[in-house]
Structure 1
Amino acid sequence: MPASPFVCAALTRTLVAHAQGCGLPVNLLLQRAGIEPAQLHGQGQIPAAQVEQLLQECETAGAGDAFGCELVPGMATHSLQGLNILLDSAATVGDSLACFIRYLPLVTNCLLVSLEASSLHLRRYQHQPHHYMLDAAVLSLVRNIARRAGRTPAQMFTQVGVLPQQAAGRWLQDWGVAVVSGQWLSLQLAPGALELTLPGANAFLHQGMLRQWQGAGLAEVREDSLHLARHWLAAGDQPIERIAQRLGYRQPSNFIRAFRKQFGVTPKQFRLSGLQPA
């Protein structure tokens, strides 16, 4: 029996936080979508139909066309942080995309992803996702794939296909990427792009993250990255800011807060104390 479409609670929390930041009445919108506040906690799954209804309620309540496009930064720093660490540390663009295709279903199974030659395709699963979600998906992919390779979007993609109802086309064109209308999302990579070595490739980190993603949920992935941080703090003198960056934290303060919550001390206190990781 096919699995029911879902969106992980972490990604849904990011949607809710973005809606709240836009001044929308999130409590009312959640109620209309049939989502209980308790569903947003932890690492559970929320039926895709409820998330789609939430996005529809956001649109009805006045969220603009660019709502999904503006969601992208929050996805990178919050709900998809653990996945981004895994993808950033891969050896090549092709290896990174292989991990994305394999582990995206832990975040959501609303999109079926495939890599055919040099084209990355994202097709619907059972139903068509809201155009806000599609905008967030395509812009996140284009921006992050280019960032990982140390290139601009225009250097990495020769063409991107989007659906007619999407707003992402304007953003892609501003980035210098050619846009066409299609029946599903399609990202055409430039010749040789899949073989590009990632500047952030880190075999030790990547293998550690892979072990977690192969048999654990998102919470365990984040916890494992913090244990890697302890090893780096004890083994060398690289700046705490650099460690935070390597683990995918855009703000060192977020890394410091997560480390203290996990281990009871700040990274600086851990390093000064001479503690050794277990």
Structure 2
Amino acid sequence: MPDAPFVSSAFLRTLVAHAQGCGLPVERLVQQAGIARAWLEDQHEIPALAVEQLLYAFEAAGAGRSFGCELVPGMATSSLQGLNILLDSATTVRASLECFIRYLPLVTNCVQVSLEEAGCTAVLHLRRYRHQPHYYMLDAAVLSLVRNIARRAGKPPAQMFSQVSLTRLQAAGDCLQGWGVATVEGPWPSLHLVPHALDLPLPGANPFLHQRMLRQCQGTTLADERKDSLQLARHWLAAGDQPIERIAERLGYRQPSNFIRAFRKQFGVTPKQFRLAGALAL
């Protein structure tokens, strides 16, 4: 069956620290959401629905509409668990975004991120996975992406993004417009890059560091790397918006049949059977 939605304990710690700074009764609200305090201490995969309950509790307890926007500094420092180092050290914006899309499911699978290209333009989509995240989480994700992508390219956000689509409840519009980025309403958050943005080199590119971080993300052995790749395949199959052949290609399989055999050996079902089982469970 498809993996349950989760977020990292690092992101939960960011939420709790900010809520404490806002004067919210964090201890009581964390307990009400069914979140064990031990989950805050080490590296854990926290059930996304429990985090959603906590965010709604924060909102009911008086957290303002901009609560998610205010999470951005914490997102940049700890929530991605070192993933930012990998993204910063890539050679181009395209390479950085490809790493982000590939390895974000190791940190959280609450959103399905995809890059849509048309000619010289590109759009980064953040679609829901199993359920729509609270708008606090979406605001934090959108503003962090806009700020960090622009920072990596060494340009202000207005020179990297032509517009950003936001869902109806999101509050990130004022911040984005303050950065000179136009906003429109859409069914999910979408970041529209300016023409040729993907080809821009990153001033902080460091091939040695990048390869080191890649090895850390992929694991130290070929067997570990294949296992991680198949776990990513489960996430992409559950999201349901990519053909199986495309997933096989993204994971480095030259022939889809090789991917199907590896997947069946690991999980006991074919990718198609796994996807159908997930669809029936929704």
TM class by smaller structure: 0.7 to 0.9
Residue 5 (structure 1) aligns with: 5
Give aligned-pair identity as a percent: 72
**CA distance in structure 1 between the partners assigned to 2:78 and 2:107 by the alignment:** 12
**CA distance in structure 1 between the partners assigned to 2:153 and 2:143 by the alignment:** 16
Residue 201 (structure 1) aligns with: 205
Question: Which of 180, 185, 190 is the matching residue for 1:186?
Answer: 190
Q: Secondary structure at the match of 1:123?
A: strand
1:111 is displaced (CA, Å) by 0.1
Q: Secondary structure at the match of 2:62?
A: coil
Question: Which of 129, 134, 139 is the matching residue for 2:138?
Answer: 134
Residue 156 (structure 2) aligns with: 152
Q: Secondary structure at the match of 1:54?
A: helix
Residue 96 (structure 1) aligns with: 96
Structure 1 segment 7-156 matched on structure 2, within 5 A? 7-117=7-117, 118-156=122-160
- TM normalised by structure 2 equals 0.76
| Matched length | 216
Question: Which of 164, 170, 179 is the matching residue for 1:166?
Answer: 170
Q: Secondary structure at the match of 2:191?
A: strand
1:81 is displaced (CA, Å) by 5.0
Q: What's the CA shift string for 1:100-122, capped at 9, x where partnerless?
A: 00111111100000001000000
Residue 215 (structure 1) aligns with: 219
Q: Secondary structure at the match of 1:67?
A: coil
- Return the letter of the residue paired with 1:28: R
1:174 is displaced (CA, Å) by 0.6
**CA distance in structure 1 between the partners assigned to 2:182 and 2:3 by the alignment:** 35
- TM normalised by structure 1 equals 0.77
Q: Secondary structure at the match of 1:71?
A: helix
Structure 2: unaligned runs, 5 residues or longer: 221-282
1:78 is displaced (CA, Å) by 1.8
1:25 is displaced (CA, Å) by 1.0
- Return the letter of the residue paired with 2:195: P
1:175 is displaced (CA, Å) by 0.5
Structure 1 segment 255-266 matched on structure 2, within 5 A? none
Q: CA RMSD in A?
A: 0.9
**CA distance in structure 1 between the partners assigned to 2:103 and 2:55 by the alignment:** 24
- Return the letter of the residue paired with 2:83: L
**CA distance in structure 2 between the partners assigned to 1:215 and 1:60 by the alignment:** 42
Residue 239 (structure 2) aligns with: none
Give the 4+ runs in structure 1 shifted more than 2 A. Answer: none
